[in-house]
Amino acid sequence: MSNRHVSDVLTDREAIADAVLRAVKGLDRYDAALFDSAFASEDVTLEVPHRNMKLIGLSDIRKNMLDSLGPLDTTHMISNIRVQVENGADAASLTAYALAQHCQAGKGRDPESPKFLVCGEYSIDLKYDGLDGLWKIKRWMLDVIWTQGDKSVTQPPR
């Protein structure tokens, strides 16, 4: 695997799906370089309509997502990925389901620690970045379907 955060042997559809996988793995491991590699620089938005949240620009997304959730013990499971792309196109979209488990930092292996589970559907628009050969997220919308557990684990400590 190259140092570009992605394998050189992915099909176009796999490379498109890999953008969301880089984003959530970067979030789960609090890896800013991997997280950033998934986004189209500052020209991006992330929306969570049920929370009336719209983040504009990678700096805002990093501050409100990576820097708040990254330190937690989290895992994002992505499934049912559907990619829409035309051959040779430099724009694509995908939808996917996500299960995201959140736990206080360092407490993930403690079965008694509070946890917060979110199930949602991602709708993502992407573009191909010819400079580094990666597909990158331009717009990410999270439609939360259900939640379970203690939401306070996702809040900053008081």
In which domain, by residue range, is 83 found? 12-154
Residue 2 lies in a domain: no
pLDDT band at 6 (very low <50, low <70, confident <90, very high): low
Count the domains in the chain. Answer: 1
pLDDT of residue 88: 87
Side chain identity at residue 91, one-letter code: A
pLDDT at 7: 64
Q: Distance (Å, rounded) from C-alpha 115 to C-alpha 111?
A: 9
- Asked if residue 36 belongs to a domain, the reply is yes
101 in helix, strand or coil? Answer: strand
SS3 category, 56: strand
Alpha carbon distance 111, 8 (integer Å): 39
Residue 6 lies inside a defined structural domain of this protein: no
158 has pLDDT over 90: no
Pairing state between β 91-103 and 73-84: antiparallel
Give CA–CA dist 55/140, Å, rounded.
Answer: 10
> Of 4-13, 73-82, 107-116, which gets the smallest average pLDDT?
4-13
Model confidence pLDDT, tens digit, residues 107-153: 999 999 999 999 999 999 999 999 999 999 999 999 999 999 999 99
Sorted by sequence, the CB contacts under 8 Å of residue 3 that are 6+ apart come out as none
pLDDT digits (tens, 9 = 90+) for 43-52: 899 999 998 9
Q: How confident is the model at residue 3 (pLDDT cuts 50, 70, 90)?
A: very low
CATH code at position 24 = 3.10.450.50
**Does the pTM of the predicted model rise above 0.85?**
yes
